[in-house]
């Protein structure tokens, strides 16, 4: 793949391009009238439940060894969830990339590497150990 093709593919796969494509899809169908943050959040949770449905009753090991058909089906549900997530951010005027970076920074403070590496404990455990110092 040459440099121009890579750049074109990267632009096509960008979050901004995806948001624009979703916005065009919604506008063409006059669906923005139905896209309140409340409705979009509810729709996103329904789609997230459909993701969970694929893993219901699987063992942890089975969930890590999906067939190609299962991957395709889970991928479709993840895509539905992702579309609603992007749409909520768009409707609310939230820069999802910026918000995610800020959240990772906050989590880095809540979960210091030297205290939590290899642990799945909630951050309040680390705060309690800091308070005892």
- Model pLDDT, residue 38: 98
- For position 4, what pLDDT does the model report? 52
Three-state secondary structure readout of the chain: CCHHHHHHHHHHCCHHHHHHHHHHHHHHCCCHHHCCHHHHHHHHHHHHHHHHHHHCCCCHHHHCCCCHHHHHHHHHHHHHHHHHHHHHHHHHCCCHHHHHHHHHHHHHHHCCHHHHCCCCCCHHHHHHHHHCC
Domains of the chain: 3-94 (1.10.287.1080), 95-133 (no CATH)
Per-residue pLDDT of the chain (133 residues; tens, 9 = 90+): 666 556 556 656 799 999 999 999 999 999 999 999 999 999 999 999 999 999 999 999 999 999 999 999 999 999 999 999 999 999 999 999 999 999 999 999 999 999 888 988 888 887 766 655 4
Give the pLDDT of residue 8.
55
Q: What is the pLDDT of residue 125?
A: 81
Question: Can you give the pLDDT at residue 124?
Answer: 80
């Amino acid at each position: 793949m040459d440099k121009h093709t890579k750049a074109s593919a990267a632009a096509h796969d960008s979050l901004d391009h995806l948001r624009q494509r979703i916005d065009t899809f919604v506008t063409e169908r006059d669906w923005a009238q139905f896209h309140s943050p409340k409705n979009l959040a509810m729709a996103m949770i329904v789609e997230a439940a459909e993701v969970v449905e694929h893993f219901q009753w699987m063992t942890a090991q089975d969930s890590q060894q999906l067939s190609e058909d299962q991957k395709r089906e889970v991928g479709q549900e993840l895509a539905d969830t992702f579309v609603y997530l992007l749409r909520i951010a768009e409707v609310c005027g939230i820069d999802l990339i910026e918000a995610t970076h800020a959240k990772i920074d906050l989590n880095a403070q809540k979960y210091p590497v030297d205290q939590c590496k290899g642990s799945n404990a909630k951050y309040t455990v680390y705060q309690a150990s800091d308070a005892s110092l």
